[in-house]
Amino acid sequence: MTITLGADDYGKAENRVVRIHRDTARHEIRDVTVSTALRGDFTAAHLAGDQSRVLPTDTQKNTVYAYAKKHGLREIEDYALTLARHFVADVEPVDGARVEVEEYSWERVDDHSWVRRQSEVRTTVVEVGEVEKVTSGLKDLVLLKSTGSEFAGFLRDEYTTLQETHDRIMSTSLVATWTYAGTDVDWDKTWTDVRAILVERFASVHSLALQQTLWEMGRAVLEAHPEITEIALSAPNKHHFVVDLSPFGLENPNEVFHAADRPYGLIRATVVRS
């Protein structure tokens, strides 16, 4: 039996960066978390502790901040591409780089003040190596519809107690990621439009199952954006149970609910362009 080193990488995780652009009297803010990971032949570091080919993770952290100043930080996909390309082109042992960025939203108050918005986060993952791959997305997009959702006709066995319903609350905290065919993309415009499509489809589709809703959301994105090759969706089912108010002499026609946070159903699907 032979024991060998398998796949490996290393980097600096969760660098918190806030970039204020002061080009004009109306300032712009970008608030992000950046993680880097480098690939290459680092066998000697693992097998012998030889660090001569290892660029310190502290240096990667410094580069994250320096590039936010030197190249600006506006569209996170452009920033991540610039950073990853630098590591591959300029650091000799590196033949592949992965840069992940999460961006937090702020709502403008005036030219230099903001209020932190909802928990929703914009994301991107950029891979640079033999090929370049950009995946954009969002997470923690909390959605709820108070009607227009059913769940009935499901498989039953001796452990099934769930009752069918033809009118229920449907709610989720959506995670969506979509992959582009190339890098010549208007990132901000596309991200905004994809988000709008996802929200519109969630709201307008009469859902017989959360699976069906995810399919309709993903299909609509691919139909509208030929530059996107696939979209992956993950949707925890945020259950809302009708409270039995009959002990108090009250009817409850789907008006008062107990919002349960766990356990929850988790539905995932990937819609691809063939």
| Encoded tokens for 248 | 């108090």
Average pLDDT taken over every residue of the chain: 97
38 has a pLDDT exceeding 80: yes
User: Cα separations (Å) of 270 from 111, 218, 220?
Assistant: 41, 8, 13
Q: What pLDDT is recorded for position 3?
A: 97
Q: Which residues pair with 137 in a beta bridge?
A: 123, 177
Q: What pLDDT is recorded for position 73?
A: 97
57 annotated ligand-binding residue: yes
Output Rg (C-alpha) for the chain, integer angstroms. Answer: 23
Q: What is the DSSP string of 201-215?
A: HHHHS-BS-HHHHHH
Mean pLDDT of 138-160: 98
154 annotated ligand-binding residue: no
User: Cα separations (Å) of 164 from 27, 37, 160, 171?
Assistant: 53, 47, 11, 17
116 has a pLDDT exceeding 80: yes
Cβ-in-10-Å burial (0-12, 13-18, 19+) of 150 comes to middle
Active site (annotated) includes residue 69: no
Instruction: Give the whole-angstrom CA distance, residue 19 versus residue 41.
Output: 34
Instruction: Give the whole-angstrom CA distance, residue 122 versus residue 199.
Output: 15
62 annotated ligand-binding residue: no
Active site (annotated) includes residue 238: no
Q: Which one of the listed residues 27, 33, 57, 133 is annotated catalytic?
A: 57
Cβ count within 10 A of residue 49: 7
Contact 53, 41 (CB under 8 A): yes
Q: Which one of the listed residues 12, 145, 225, 238 is annotated catalytic?
A: 12
230 has a pLDDT exceeding 80: yes
163 annotated ligand-binding residue: no
Question: The pTM is what?
Answer: 0.94
H or E stretch including 118? strand 113-128
| Encoded tokens for 147 | 């009607």
155 has a pLDDT exceeding 80: yes
Task: Identify the structural domains of the chain with CATH numbers, from first to last.
Answer: 9-129 (3.10.270.10), 131-274 (3.10.270.10)
58 annotated ligand-binding residue: yes
160 has a pLDDT exceeding 80: yes
Mean pLDDT of 256-268: 96
211 annotated ligand-binding residue: yes
43 has a pLDDT exceeding 80: yes
Chain length of the chain: 274
Long-range contacts from 104-109, C-beta under 8 angstroms, 24+ separation: 104/31, 104/32, 106/29, 106/31
Mean pLDDT of 101-122: 94
82 has a pLDDT exceeding 90: yes
Active site (annotated) includes residue 190: no
* Residue 119 pLDDT grade (very low, low, confident, very high; cuts 50, 70, 90): confident
| Encoded tokens for 154 | 């499901």
Q: Which one of the listed residues 145, 238, 239, 240 is annotated catalytic?
A: 239
pLDDT in tens, 233-251: 999 999 999 999 999 999 9
Q: What pLDDT is recorded for position 117?
A: 77
Preceding amide of 263 cis, omega within 30: yes
pLDDT in tens, 128-148: 999 999 999 999 999 999 999
pLDDT in tens, 165-221: 999 999 999 999 999 999 999 999 999 999 999 999 999 999 999 999 999 999 999
